[in-house]
Structure 1
Amino acid sequence: MTLRVLQSVAVVCSAATLAFVLLQLAPGDPATALGEGVAPELRAAIRARYGLDDSIATQYGRWLWSLLRGDLGWSRDQQRPVAAVLADALPRSLVLMGCALSVSLMGGMLIGAWQGARAGSRRDRTTSTALLVLYSLPEFWVALLLLVVFAHQLHWLPATGITDEMSRYLTAREQLVDRVRHLVLPLTSLSLVGVAVFARYQRDAMQESMAQAFVRTARAKGLSESAVRRQAWRSALLPVITVTGLMLPALITGAVFVERVFAWPGMGYAMIRAIEARDYPVVSAGVILGSAVAAFGAALADIARDIADPRLRRP
């Protein structure tokens, strides 16, 4: 477990350094983001204020020292600490991604287990085709489609935001309903592809498990088909646990586009705003946070696999 944690820390540090270097090599800075009609003296003053004229090594050393002290920097666009920007945006993204992961996992496992128990049937082939089509659709396209159909044409659900502008005047129950209604479209956009991924892995694992000797033994002992399938399903959980850790980077990437489409004020929305404003401290902090979630999520998935199957534990 200690080795996995150290590996995760190394991954985060490498991602942070790479993000810093790439941002330094990217064209533009906060001074150029001001537009064309800004005096050269003002641009020079801004570069001097933030130390943008220093060498990359000097800027990296200053940035690294601040990071080690727990200082994520100052948001030049929002004029407040980067930690405050993350504190506002991160909980909203965690709600969206946590719900999306739960829906994807539960939906994918149920569909995949159902397919695996009926592998080769016409219903299995039809469902596999539908899931393959669903998997091929990018999240932002699905988000735009849902936005047009359910928000702008049918007017069933709100189009953007996390709450209604008048939510402060609603009762506690009405506020909860309002938040759920705003969550439906972003959650659906982010979950559909995940359901297809989990279903595919669960189906293959379930099909392999149903062909094992213990399934034939259970049937020979007279167990009901539902009991046999439950035992086979428990044996087919390991690939799904692995995919759960691998899905986190894709989930984070998808959340960036989905949050932008629905103006969900989370980390993805904050990152895109920071990129447009050349607010690189926010961008680098977001990269560090995203890589930390992905790395430690993969480590937790490995630990969960070891717990589920002791045979996988390293001596």
Structure 2
Amino acid sequence: MPKYIIRRVFTSIPIILGVLTVTFFVINLTPGDPLAMYVNPEISPGIREIMAERFGLNDPLPIRYFKWIKNFLTGDFGHSYSHNRPVKDVLFDAVPHTLLLSSTSLLLSIITGIAIGVVSALKKYTIYDHLVTVLSFFIYAMPSFWLALMLIIIFSLKLRLLPASNVRSIDADTLTLLPYLWNRVQHAILPVFVLAIGNAASKGRYMRSSLLEVIRQDYIRTARSKGLPEFLVIWKHAMRNALIPIVTIAGLSIPFLLSGSLIVEVIFAWPGMGQVIINSIFNRDYPLVMATTFISAVMVIFGNLVADVFYSVLDPRIRFD
């Protein structure tokens, strides 16, 4: 397993470089001047040239590309035009908030999806199963931005039970530990729910189908014929194999949580990667766009790697040489 992981990491390097190369040339060949949004149009041409030289915009495109690759490999992501700060500092401020939001919603969606799928499979073709099926398709088809706005209107504006934006209150720093933690939890409830509910619905459907297929297998009939309690038959024999597709889907959903959080973070004013990515694109902040693209590519590869590793843990027949 360690050799496989190391090999996957090394084989992922050309993929990441390819993604970054394509992104670099697409962004830099787009018509327009990135400095036009940040400098006074009435400044002298000399000062404008100095600023363009400072950001390396006067160099030929191939030279800029190789300089950027060299700096990128040494951990220098460049200087953000829009934030007037090093890109690394901008990411350090935003990434923890997105990781907190995405990891919490992913964990909640997996637990909820598995629970719903198992109960639905064990009660197949009952009223509960039909009700869960209808609700799952309805929730899965529901746009996340619409759900977010409806929850804000209901729980923030009408009932005034939960805050509508940001990660904490303005006066949160004056609170003691437990009230501070509860304040953070209150601000996270709505965005986490919006991200988790759709994923939980889809995982519940996959779990139901997978468990129904597994419990029809011969070894499940053998376990039942030996007199084992139904609880042990399901949780000890059926669940492990039924979880294999769920693990694969959960691993592949890691990068999609980032894309899904873009809209959610903007609606809830969550200071994470979503707002950074959208603002960097609209502001033509080339260094920041490249850095966020790199993080997205790494998340895709990491998600696939996690899925493969857990797949081999759940299925002993899978071996990586």
Q: Map of 1:94-243 to 2, 5 A cutoff? A: 94-230=99-235, 231-243=237-249
**Equivalent residue, structure 2, for 1:281:** 287
Instruction: Name 2:261's counterpart in structure 1.
Output: 255
| CA contact 1:140–1:254 (8 Å) conserved in 2 | no
Name the CA shift for 1:23/1:216 in 2 (closer, same or farther; >3 Å).
Answer: same
Q: Are residue 81 (structure 1) and residue 86 (structure 2) matched?
A: yes
- Indicate how the Cα distance of structure 1 residues 29 and 198 shifts in structure 2: closer, same or farther if over 3 A, else same: farther
Preserved contact between residue 15 and residue 291 of structure 1 (Cα < 8 Å): yes
Q: CA deviation at 1:44?
A: 4.7
Structure 1 position 264 matched with structure 2 position 270: yes
Letter in 1 for 2:206: Y
Instruction: Identify if the C-alpha distance between structure 1 residues 80 and 34 changes in structure 2 by more than 3 Å, giving closer, same or farther.
Output: closer
TM-score (normalizing by structure 2) = 0.92
Residue 121 (structure 1) shift: 2.9
Is residue 19 of structure 1 aligned with residue 17 of structure 2?
Answer: no
Instruction: Report the CA distance shift for 1:170/1:277 in structure 2 as closer, same or farther (over 3 A).
Output: same
Q: What is the DSSP-based 3-state SS (H/G/I as helix, E as strand, rest coil) of the residue aligned with 1:218?
A: helix
Is 2:38–2:81's contact at 8 Å kept on the other side of the alignment?
A: no
Rounded Cα–Cα distance in structure 1 between residues aligned with 2:32 and 2:233: 62
Contact kept? 1:117, 1:229, Cα under 8 Å? no
Separation of aligned partners in 1, 2:195 and 2:66:
38
The answer for unaligned runs of 5 or more in structure 2 is: none
Shift of 1:4: 2.0
> How far has the Cα of 1:43 moved from its partner?
4.8
Distance 1:314 1:214, change over 3 A: same
4+ aligned runs moved over 6 Å, structure 1: none
The code of the aligned residue for 1:146 comes to L
The letter of the residue matching 1:227 is L
Judge conservation of contact 1:72–1:81 (CA < 8 Å) in 2. Answer: yes
Residue matched to 1:55: 60
1:309 equivalent to 2:315? Answer yes
More displaced, 227-236 or 84-93?
Answer: 227-236
Aligned to 2:298: 292
Does the 8 Å CA contact 2:166/2:268 hold for their aligned counterparts?
yes
- 1:310–1:222 Cα change, 3 Å: closer
**What amino acid sits opposite 2:199 in the alignment?**
G
| Counterpart-to-counterpart distance in 2, 1:237 and 1:258 | 28
Answer whether contact 2:207 2:243 (CA < 8 A) is retained.
yes
Code of the residue aligned with 1:256 in structure 2: it is L
The 8 Å contact of residues 113 and 206 in structure 1, kept in 2 or not, is answered as yes
**CA deviation after TM superposition for structure 1 residue 148, in Å:** 2.0
- Aligned partner letter, 1:284: M
Is the Cα contact below 8 Å between 2:38 and 2:82 reproduced in 1? Answer: no
Contact 1:113 1:202 in 2 (8 A): yes
The whole-number CA distance in structure 2 between the counterparts of 1:38 and 1:295 is 46
- Does the CA-based 8 Å contact 1:12-1:292 persist in structure 2? yes
User: What's the CA shift for 1:37?
Assistant: 4.9
Cα distance in structure 2, aligned partners of 1:12 and 1:193:
29
The CA RMSD over aligned residues, in Å, is: 1.9
Count of residues paired in the alignment: 315
269-278 or 30-39: bigger deviation: 30-39
Aligned-pair identity (%): 35
Q: Cα distance 1:272–1:40, how it changes in 2: closer, same or farther (>3 A)?
A: farther
Question: Aligned with 2:34: secondary structure?
Answer: coil
Say which of 235, 242, 250 aligns to 1:244.
Answer: 250
Whether the aligned pair in 2 keeps the contact of 1:215 and 1:228 (CA below 8 Å) is yes
Q: Which amino acid aligns with 1:151?
A: S
By how many angstroms is 1:136 displaced? Answer: 1.4
Distance 1:137 1:46 in 2: 47
